[in-house]
Structure 1
Amino acid sequence: MSPSASAGASCTATYQITSQWSDGFQGDVTVRNTGRAPTNGWTVTWTFANGQKVTQYWNATVTQAGAVVTAKNVAYNGTIATGGSTSFGFLSSWTGANTVPAAVTCSAT
């Protein structure tokens, strides 16, 4: 059984590249509760376009399957008050061009 969204729970995610070097970069994602109720958890997903690979992460559990990256809250930051936010970060390698993903989605439970 998959989790369903709590009544009024919703979120958005904002992705940014905060530092970049010749073969890697640091990214940060802010998760904001845009719903009418606190979140009990959240999942953020995006697809890299140019072969980027997550190598390290903090304040989330991050998995990558091919180009698709999925980040889920950890025990201490799954609950976000209405209007509140939390953030997580990661390091990634890259070759070619390093661009911000076209779409970053967030789902709240």
Structure 2
Amino acid sequence: MKASRRLLEPIYRDGYGYKKAGVCLYNIRPSRPHQESLFGRHREEDEALMDAVDQITREHGKSALNLAAAGMPSGRDWTMKRQNRSPRYTTRWDELPIAEV
């Protein structure tokens, strides 16, 4: 979060509309290889992760972090933006292009 703020502050302009976006990070691994514990992660790693989550929650509120599998928080409606959806004319008869002579 600190890095993203540091990078965005110089280009932010007041009065322009901005969209909220999310970032998914997959397969994050330490820079040095290590042997995993037989029973999962190390307790120190769990505590460090929970400390980070607690700090983000304190600074940005309870709705700052959510599990992706949990869906949207209750009370917030979400709909997909369909204006950029690809045409479905390979599967929908009513969307076939019509050639006029």
Please tell me whether Structure 1 or Structure 2 has the larger radius of gyration of its CA atoms: 2
Q: Which has the larger share of helix? A: 2
Between the two structures, name the one with larger relative contact order (CA 8 Å, sep ≥ 6).
1
Shared fold (TM-score, shorter chain, > 0.5): no
TM-score by length of 1: 0.23
- TM-score normalised by the chain length of structure 2: 0.24
Structure showing the higher strand proportion among its residues = 1
